[in-house]
Structure 1
Amino acid sequence: MQLLASLVLLALLKARPASAAVKEYTLDVVNAPIAPDGFNRSAFGILANGTFPGPLLIANKGDTVKVTFNNKLTDQSMRMSTSIDFDGVLSNTASVYDEGSPFVTQCPFGPNTSYTYSNGEQSGSAWYHSQLGLQYADGLRGVFIIYDPDDPLKHLYDVDDESTIWSVADWWHSTSTVSLIAYNLTQMIPIQDSGLFNGVGRYVGGPAIPYAVHTVTKGTRYRFRLINISVRWQVFVSIDNHTMTVIEVDGTPTQPLETNILSIMPGARYSLVVTANQAVDNYWINAIPADPSDPSKAHQNPVFDATLSRGILRYAGAPDAEPSAPMTQGPEGADANLLQEHELRPLIPIPPPEPDYILNFTTSMPVNETVWLLNGTQYRSPKVPTLIKISNGASSAADFNKSENTFIFLRNKTVEINFSPDPANELHAFHLHGNRFWVIKSNESDIVNTVNPPIRDVAAKGNGGTILRFRTDKPGPWFFHCHIFWHFWAGLGAVMVSDPEGIRQQVKPGETWDGLCPAYDALPAIEQ
């Protein structure tokens, strides 16, 4: 039955409709002005086509998507090279080198050069961002939606298009390089200056930038695709007087589950069906950022007020005005029906196989917030990417430096990652590149589900403990790291290598990829 279920899932992900096409996008990575909350930074942002969020990428299930990024960065006060990751896109083994993980699957590419990523073939809500250092904090992040024309849940909604995409994000008035200096000096992660909904926000003492507005028609059902493109903070999302029905998590269709408030971690995605069934009026969309471990830390930055992070749901016919209701943080106490991850069920349940490997993981911060360890090791990027080392014969953990935190598995096996509870109550958002995993045990519950657990690619890990399982059926080196990028930068990551021999046989990169590392190594340090 497990094999049959796996084949069903494979068919869902890989089926290529007759209408499949090749969709091509070209994005220029540039330094451009950006003031999403009205604050003009002294240095420009790092943006795709000069916008934040970056241009929306759209495809249909089965399409091949080719995205060319032209690096036109010139500001030497920030990182000038780049490398792009597509979160939620299930990379094919043959194109694992297009997966975008710097120093795992490829080297970054520098100024005045270009690189084309090729991906697609599944459906769901995904996004893209720079994976190099903390660069995406400067704005290089955007949404990538792959629609399924035959979505089995389409009877639940009437509208699902470009207008129903919601992004939530954090924003800093300082550049990532300046923030990083402050991080090292204070040994504390800098607190954001504002929270953004669909690229717009406010800060204390700043201008009253108009909030992003989504207009709905009374009686219509909308599928809102919610993506947290934050660098650090989880976000609590709700809509005054409305309920939300979850039908997708991280690209996996789910059985409908109703809620009125949910927490979304950095990198995670949900599809929410909302029916416009209230009186014609304006309603607050609450998008309240919260520090994953300690909400009181927000007071470390006097210009940040989480309550200012929100948008407006406006019914057609309502006045062009902000809601008259007070700004709140959403339903609380007995009124709150907070989404519980462990209650999510895939639309097509797939029982996870019993594990062939069990990894017992701990996270720790032995010194201060600038050092994070996964199983006692601080991950540090190697000079030679993991994929190149494997291509040159590396086949065991002994072939890699300890700081590369690399784990080797045979093909078509099941790996269980068992996170012990964190006594420090520090919450993390662990993400696996190129794959999805079963969440056997969610952080917020003691329930262990080996029958129909959630399937996703981002999961919270904290004081409750978390158990994940994934299959090694796609040869490749896959990054596994905390998507709170300050934690990732501080070393909270590892590389999961599936089938080294299969990688050597199946992964056949071309000339452009082959030239990335020599070109990057030849760059002056200021351009890397």
Structure 2
Amino acid sequence: MASPGYLRGLTVCAALLAVILARASGIDIFLEWNVVLDNTIRPVTVEQSVITINGMFPGPLINATTNDLVHVNVFNNMDEPLLFTWNGIQQRLNSWQDGVSGTNCPIQPGKNWTYVFQTKDQIGSYFYFPSINFQKAAGGYGPIRVNNRNVIAVPFPKPEAEFDLLIGDWFYDSYNKTRSMMASMANIITPDVILMNGKGPYGHSLSKAYESFTVTQGKTYRFRISNAGSAFSFNFRIQNHKMVLVETEGSYTNQITMDSLDVHVGQSYSVLVTADQNDADYYVVASPLLLNTSSPGGFDGVGVLHYSNSLTPVNGPLPGGPDPFDLDSSVNQARSVRWNLTAGAARPNRQGAFNVTNVTLSQNFILDGSNQEIEGAQRYAVNNVSYYSLSTPLKLADHFLNGSGVYQLDWFPVDSVNAKAAYGVSVVTGIHKGWIELVFVNSLNTMDAWHLDGYGFYVVGFGNGLWGPEARKDYNIYDPVVRSTVQVYPNGWAAVYAFLDNPGMWNLRSQSLKNWYLGQELYIRVFDDDPNPAKERPPPNNLLLCGIFADESEAPASEPSPAPSSGW
């Protein structure tokens, strides 16, 4: 009989071989980022500090190909802790690199830390941003492209060029001043203007510069559009030009031609635009939904599509878009975004080889997002529980203590609303390799959007009012698009399916920054007890320690309870 040591050796060798094979078509990409709070870069003339990376806002492009291994050495030269999260990058078997407060200790001021993550079996358009301390409102975000390997066909002709377009709302007040007002004024705090690639609107009285894209007549271009903002959904359009939708957050879509496109907070899309008009300049516009922008100056983000031979600047009024309050039209457009079942993706097999027509659901979570007052403070909650952030990341506690003394698993109500709003550390079990139905209910009169780290989910349905099981009869389970962020309309719901095959501690959150900052989130613990090292990866060698693990000789036995009424 083989010795245990010999068998362990075979297991390790097999795991190493699997890693080598998985990496065979990828390369290592090494990046070094210097992150500072810069007082000299001002998107508008209002005095404002901006988080820059290597002097840039937006930050540098991460340009990778499927299976590449990305190393990002982040130097935090700000005056407060910092984390980055990789919006939509699935971190296969590796939530240690997710970059949110429940999985990582923050990078302290004056320190650096290197993220290492693989763009495993992914393609598409994504972006990164700082995830704690309301810092995203000050910038620090940038684009991520994950390209197809050469052996995988792209379902449209190669465009002449590609443009990354990060559109985001912006506050005139500093991010730290804005966050300090959240506890008492969350309901009335809204951004002041929309930026395009960190630049103010064309023609705006406070703009220092505007974004411009140069094109050649007759050529086709790919625009990778991300809503990197904090609050506003927006409608995107280009004057006198049609767009062909081709991709969203790693999924090739059925190609539909449209005049305009709604993009919600945290979402990314790719559209093809052909320069088929006369040599001139044309407006590029992003208008917020559910907001009247008819006042002078308005809130619109405005850039310019510049034909290379143009001598005619833009002029006249901005091109009109859909009624910003016509949510029925927006929902209909959302339902029209379908998976291209015949296209390949990151793998040789077509996207349609994976479907949800006959899945058996293992779990159903109904998650109601709302605004609440808890202990005199404005908070956002899920099922009347407002998440309380701990100094010890849940992932650390899970690995070293099985969560003991830091959080209690599965006390959170996953399908009902607590009678009284309270704080809590919300961690729930996700059944490994089970199908979960997540129903997001929006009890607010504003747009919301939900995101699940570590996964792409199938968007199967939208509806008004309360959700009930009878809604399933109207789900699209034939060709639902797969993405990582779904919008939820005011007083409505959205339903998604996810296959929980990625072990780890994963953040499920509102993408609305103030909702997230004030507690609208929870964590799903997807655990696989198989000791095979090819399963979830062990902690990285450069693992940061904090909270109760910062100094074990002085560490308390457990985290303090956030409040007697928290339920944990």
TM-score normalised by L of structure 2:
0.79
Give the alignment of 1:214-293 within 5 angstroms.
214-290=213-289
Which residue type is aligned with residue 143 of structure 1? P
Inter-partner Cα distance in structure 2 for 1:337 and 1:190: 27
| CA root-mean-square deviation | 3.1
Aligned residues: 489
In the other structure, the counterpart of 1:513 is 543
Which residue type is aligned with residue 117 of structure 1? Y
In the other structure, the counterpart of 1:6 is none
Flag the 1:320–1:28 CA change in 2: closer, same or farther, 3 A: farther
Inter-partner Cα distance in structure 2 for 1:276 and 1:233: 28
Question: Displacement of 1:203 after TM fit?
Answer: 9.6
Question: Displacement of 1:406 after TM fit?
Answer: 1.2
Flag the 1:316–1:443 CA change in 2: closer, same or farther, 3 A: farther
Give the alignment of 1:313-324 within 5 angstroms.
313-319=305-311, 321=313, 323-324=314-315
Inter-partner Cα distance in structure 1 for 2:83 and 2:287: 30
Structure 2, unpaired ranges of 5+: 1-19, 341-350, 413-423, 466-470, 555-568
In the other structure, the counterpart of 1:442 is 462
In the other structure, the counterpart of 1:327 is 318
In the other structure, the counterpart of 2:130 is 130
Question: Displacement of 1:21 after TM fit?
Answer: 1.1
Inter-partner Cα distance in structure 2 for 1:15 and 1:258: 40
Deviations 1:500-524 (CA, angstroms, capped at 9, x unpaired): 63599733113421435555999xx
In the other structure, the counterpart of 1:56 is 61
Which residue type is aligned with residue 291 of structure 2? P
Flag the 1:303–1:366 CA change in 2: closer, same or farther, 3 A: farther
1:116 to 114, 117, 120: 114
Inter-partner Cα distance in structure 2 for 1:198 and 1:71: 22
In the other structure, the counterpart of 2:181 is 182
Inter-partner Cα distance in structure 2 for 1:384 and 1:17: 33
Which residue type is aligned with residue 33 of structure 2? L
User: Is the 8 Å Cα contact of residues 372 and 378 (structure 2) preserved in structure 1?
Assistant: no
- Structure 1 residue matching 2:31: 3-state secondary structure: strand
In the other structure, the counterpart of 1:158 is 159
Flag the 1:513–1:360 CA change in 2: closer, same or farther, 3 A: same
User: Is the 8 Å Cα contact of residues 202 and 210 (structure 2) preserved in structure 1?
Assistant: no
Flag the 1:181–1:275 CA change in 2: closer, same or farther, 3 A: same
Q: Is the deviation greater in 433-442 or in 494-503?
A: 494-503
Inter-partner Cα distance in structure 2 for 1:443 and 1:134: 31
Inter-partner Cα distance in structure 1 for 2:531 and 2:454: 14
Flag the 1:203–1:156 CA change in 2: closer, same or farther, 3 A: closer
Inter-partner Cα distance in structure 2 for 1:281 and 1:449: 42
1:374 to 370, 382, 385: 382
More helix by percentage: 1
In the other structure, the counterpart of 1:458 is 485
Inter-partner Cα distance in structure 2 for 1:87 and 1:187: 24
In the other structure, the counterpart of 2:371 is 365
When Rg is computed on C-alpha atoms for both structures, the one with the higher figure is 2
Deviations 1:187-236 (CA, angstroms, capped at 9, x unpaired): 43422222101211149973453421111111111111111111121111
Inter-partner Cα distance in structure 1 for 2:278 and 2:196: 23
User: Is the 8 Å Cα contact of residues 192 and 299 (structure 2) preserved in structure 1?
Assistant: no
Question: Displacement of 1:424 after TM fit?
Answer: 4.2
Question: Displacement of 1:86 after TM fit?
Answer: 0.3
Deviations 1:147-202 (CA, angstroms, capped at 9, x unpaired): 114453353342344xx111101112222111122333434342222210121114
Structure 1, unpaired ranges of 5+: 1-13, 75-79, 523-528
User: Is the 8 Å Cα contact of residues 193 and 203 (structure 1) preserved in structure 2?
Assistant: no
1:312 to 295, 304, 307: 304
Question: Displacement of 1:331 after TM fit?
Answer: 5.0
User: Is the 8 Å Cα contact of residues 282 and 313 (structure 1) preserved in structure 2?
Assistant: yes
Inter-partner Cα distance in structure 2 for 1:205 and 1:259: 27
- Structure 2 residue matching 1:238: 3-state secondary structure: strand
Flag the 1:194–1:283 CA change in 2: closer, same or farther, 3 A: same
Inter-partner Cα distance in structure 2 for 1:503 and 1:482: 33
Deviations 1:430-454 (CA, angstroms, capped at 9, x unpaired): 0011211011103589741112111
Inter-partner Cα distance in structure 2 for 1:214 and 1:224: 10
The percentage of counterpart residues that share the same residue type is: 21
Question: Displacement of 1:105 after TM fit?
Answer: 1.0
Flag the 1:277–1:366 CA change in 2: closer, same or farther, 3 A: same
Inter-partner Cα distance in structure 2 for 1:442 and 1:397: 33
Question: Displacement of 1:426 after TM fit?
Answer: 3.1
